Structure 1
Amino acid sequence: MSFVRWKKNKQVLFIVSVIALCCLVITSICGLQPTREQIREKLKTLGIENSCKVLECDITATCDTVLDQEVNRIQTIEDDLANERCPENLNFIGEISSSEKNMPLAFSIMAHRDFPQFLKLFEAIYRPQNVYCVQIDSKSKLEFRKKVDKLLSCVRANEEERAFLSKSNISLVWQHSSLLEGDLSCLTQLLVNRLPWNYYINIVGSEFPLVGNAQLVSKLESVRNPIGFVHIKYPHKEVADRWKYSHILVEDYVVRTKIEKTLPPNGIKMMYGLKNVAISREFSEFCINSEEGQDLREWLLDVQTSIEHFYPTLALYYLTHKGIFPEKDAYELLNEWKMRQTIWFNNPNFNCYGKIKREICVLSLGDLPSILQMDGYMMNKFDSDLDFSIVHCLSEMIRQ
């Protein structure tokens, strides 16, 4: 067929355009997943010396063996937990620095599925001096909940409050205020916990750290404000529309109504940013117990993606209204380090070698060079059903 005849067929041209776009956005579909050798060369070009067994193997059988060993280890752990036994082959980091011991942290983890991913995440962030609250989606399978509960019971030993499931039964829905409520429920329980902690860190089960606990503590030691790290941005019109009208939940979808909302409480200036934060115990108390925090929490119940507004709004309010910093300085200090990184579908600087889900790249091994160039704590997002090898590789790298 000539180019002229093909060009006239608009329907075919549209289909071809869509396929071409898929090649750019979801490159793994088009068979462009880089080889291990290409990934190693890319890391070398970037000056990244860290590696892992998954990358170093060149013979397929050997590489399969590396992954099979880890898959078998996790399967053994799952079998033990399902039978109410504490596994003997959990892979926690043994050596703990004095700085880590002197700065215990409190973590909340929201999760709903994918136990292998949850296990790898928990093994990466667990330290015996820290405290952990896990908020599981009420819609999750009972089998998943039982495995997580048993895992937590195995690590907490005689300290019942060291690692625990949240007492709240919440159906977690994307873009809904239930995500904020699940987060704040864990924070509330951690605040009344008798065990000490300095900073609160909120993450989800599909994330994985780019750095170890020691590096996280080092970053927190460098904080130059009373709060910590809270990503904040001034809202553009599309974001501001989230709180112009009331939103309701219809069959697990957030739907905007025609009911106009009142202005934000206490004349507070609305901000937005990443949901992931690292906040001091003092500011955590303010979020939960202050009149401003409670009023904002209630007002956000019918706001779309409220979890992206609660902490940024209160953080700027806290630093400016207490006269601690002028707004410009507060904005810069809170944004000094990102607590989460994400590759979005429309990022011109990155290809996604995994797959796009809700406009976010679910990562695969081919994305490793891209994410290792990013500066931040957690990387979003992973799924063991798509590619287990990338998290297995990262877990080895952050131990080096």
Structure 2
Amino acid sequence: MRLLQRGRFLLFLKLTLVLGSLWMLSLLTRSRSGWNPSYSWLEYTDDDSPEKMCDCSAILQGEREALEQAKLLTITKDFKKSVHIPDEYYMNASQDCSAFKLRRKYLTFPLSQEEEEFPLAYSMVVHHKVQSFERLLRAIYAPQNVYCVHVDKKAKSSVLAAIRAITACFPNIFMVSQPVDVVYSAWPRVQADLNCMADLYNASTKWKYLLNLCGQDFPLKTNLEIVRALRSLRGGNSLESEKMPAEKMWRVRNAHQIIDGTIQGTGKAKEPPPFNLTIMSGNAYFVVSRGYISSVLEDKRVLALIEWAKDTYSPDEFLWATIQRMPGIPGSKRPHIKYDMSDLNAITRLVKWQFHEGSQDSLNAVYPECQGNHVRSICIYGVGDLQWMLEHHHLFANKFDIDTDAIAVHCLEKYLRKRALSKLQ
């Protein structure tokens, strides 16, 4: 009798899954053929949000009263406490994956055929702030994409456990096979990305472009907008790659080593780079094609450059930029100065450096003053920066910190989800 009941239950469960899949397929088919279903259940609402007192529409339009109200709220002790989510919440909530994805409103089906046919790969290097990681993941998640997550080996055990629990809920998200102990400005920061690159390359043959992120990034575009921006590259790459300034040449002319968790000079000069390569200046973040990644993993010239770079200072700020200017690399450009690309011209990442900020009438200022605060000369964005950053073509911005300004992230989340769903109406 028990076997009969169990058999009936399994049959019922299978029928439920099949009917659910057919229903979802029906929604997508009707949507593509012109029928307009309601996707309100996927919208972010303020019902249970501590940020509900803020008017995101007014904030995004730069209205002074709304901005001042938000800024006052972010410095309130009770508000800061209310928006903080401990690591343990994610460990517990993700035990029931279906409920977690439903409660957090993850997009579990492609929103368009265009996106489905142009899957992306993401490398995510994080070391703390699980809440920021999860909100970033939710903002960029799509079931056709593939994601590799690298958690620093120095990270707290609760951080690793929480992120491992979250990623286990998704078949297209995995933890890197070989995590490393990341050291700021040293080779392990590059190795973390390289390990994810190799895992992503072997995990799927379908993805078209790879984007690398850190835990304090956040998108400025929807997945569809990112796909269209990458399609327009026509196989090219987009990343900062400029002539190395003379004041930075010591980074690649002198050997360095890691001592007690920090990078230090050895006092020894390095040999010139292999193949007489021109070393370019750039940054750690890129948007590159699958062909570029194939070259990074297999091209003998690139592999020689990688070995040569392992004892340099801040290799992440020249390696990708140099590879981008090597002849024969898919999507590359010649090393001539006419092909130089600044961080503002690339679509990769929008960053405000403190020494480039200034007033509106300043002739030397690259961008307006930071409306948040600064860490290591980089602006931690506040709500007052949102209107400015959404005017740019960049796909992502850095840096955000929920502990500094949760409302900035909240309003971006709402803006992007509304924009993504509006394409379906």
Contact 2:87 2:158 in 1 (8 A): no
Equivalent pairs: percent with the same residue?
23
Give SS of 1:248's match: strand
Q: Distance in 1 between matches of 2:103 and 2:136?
A: 15
Q: Normalization by structure 2: what TM-score?
A: 0.73
**What RMSD over aligned residues (CA atoms) do the two structures have, in Å?**
3.6
User: Residues 385, 218 of structure 1: CA spacing in aligned structure 2 closer, same or farther, 3 A cutoff?
Assistant: same
TM-superposed CA distance for 1:42, in Å, is 7.9
Provide the rounded CA distance (Å) in 2 between the counterparts of 1:246 and 1:308: 16
Counterpart pick for 2:201 among 175, 188, 191: 191
Cα deviation for residue 325 of structure 1 reads 5.9
Match of 2:383 in 1: 365
Residues 112-163 of structure 1, C-alpha deviations (whole Å, 9 max, x = no match): 000110011000111100010011100001111111111111121xxxxx21
How far the C-alpha of 1:331 sits from its partner, in A, is 3.9
Q: CA deviation at 1:351?
A: 2.1
The verdict on how the C-alpha distance between 1:319 and 1:334 changes in structure 2, with shifts beyond 3 A counting, is farther
Matched-pair contact (CA < 8 Å) for 1:275–1:307: yes
| Aligned counterparts of 2:148 and 2:233: Cα–Cα separation in 1 | 24
Check conservation: 2:216, 2:401, Cα contact below 8 A: yes
CA contact (8 A) 1:106 1:130 kept: yes
CA distance in 2, matches of 1:126, 1:217: 13
Instruction: Using the TM superposition, give the Cα deviation of residue 72 of structure 1 relative to its aligned residue in structure 2, in angstroms.
Output: 7.0
- 2:164 aligned counterpart, secondary structure: helix
Per the TM alignment, residue 69 of structure 1 is displaced from its structure 2 partner at its CA by 8.6
Local SS of the residue matching 1:249: strand
Amino acid aligned to 1:314 = I
Q: Is the 8 A contact 1:229 1:334 kept in 2?
A: no
How far 1:246 moved relative to its partner? 0.5
The 5 Å alignment of 1:24-103 reads 40=58, 43=61, 77-81=90-94, 84-86=95-97, 87=100, 88-93=102-107, 96-103=111-118
Q: Could you say if the C-alpha distance between residues 44 and 264 of structure 1 is closer, same or farther in structure 2, counting changes exceeding 3 Å?
A: same
* Alignment partner, residue 177 of structure 2: 167
Partner amino acid for 2:116?
K
CA distance in 2, matches of 1:55, 1:126: 32
- Pair 44,328 (structure 1): closer, same or farther in 2 beyond 3 Å: same
Structure 1 residue 305: Cα displacement: 1.1
From 248, 271, 278, the equivalent of 2:257 is 248
Give the deviation of 1:252 after TM superposition.
2.4
> 1:333-348, aligned counterparts within 5 Å?
337-346=346-355, 347-348=357-358
Provide the residue aligned with 2:222 in structure 1.
212
Residue among 131, 144, 150 paired with 2:159 = 144
Structure 1 gap segments, 5+ residues each: 1-34, 47-52, 157-161
- Which residue of 313, 317, 324 maps to 2:322? 313
Q: How many equivalent pairs are there?
A: 350
Report the TM-score, using the length of structure 1 for normalisation: 0.77
Q: Deviations over 1:65-91 (max 9, x none)?
A: 99999767998545323xx33224122
Q: Distance in 2 between matches of 1:213 and 1:321?
A: 24
CA contact (8 A) 1:39 1:369 kept: no
In the TM superposition, residue 40 of structure 1 has moved relative to its aligned partner by: 3.4
* Contact 1:230–1:335 (Cα < 8 Å) also in 2: no
The code of the aligned residue for 2:229 comes to: K
Partner residue, 1:387: 405
TM-superposition CA deviations, 1:352-378 (whole Å, max 9, x none): 232211111112223323322333111
Query: 1:161-193: CA deviations, max 9, x gaps?
Result: x21001113111211111111001100111111
Distance verdict in 2 for CA 1:251–1:369, change over 3 Å: farther
1:164-313 residue pairs with structure 2 within 5 A?
164-224=174-234, 226-313=235-322
In the alignment, does 2:120 pair up with 1:105? yes
Partners of 2:71 and 2:320 in 1: how far apart? 46
AA aligned to 2:225 is Q
SS of corresponding position for 2:402: coil
- Cα distance in 2 for residues equivalent to 1:361 and 1:155: 33
Partner of 1:31: none
Give the 3 Å change call, closer, same or farther, for CA 70–326 of structure 1 in structure 2: closer
Rounded to whole Å, the distance in 2 between the matches of 1:80 and 1:148 is: 12
For the 8 Å contact 2:106–2:138, the answer to whether it is kept is yes
Deviations 1:92-116 (CA, angstroms, capped at 9, x unpaired)? 2465122211111111000000011
More RCO (CA 8 Å, sep 6+): 1
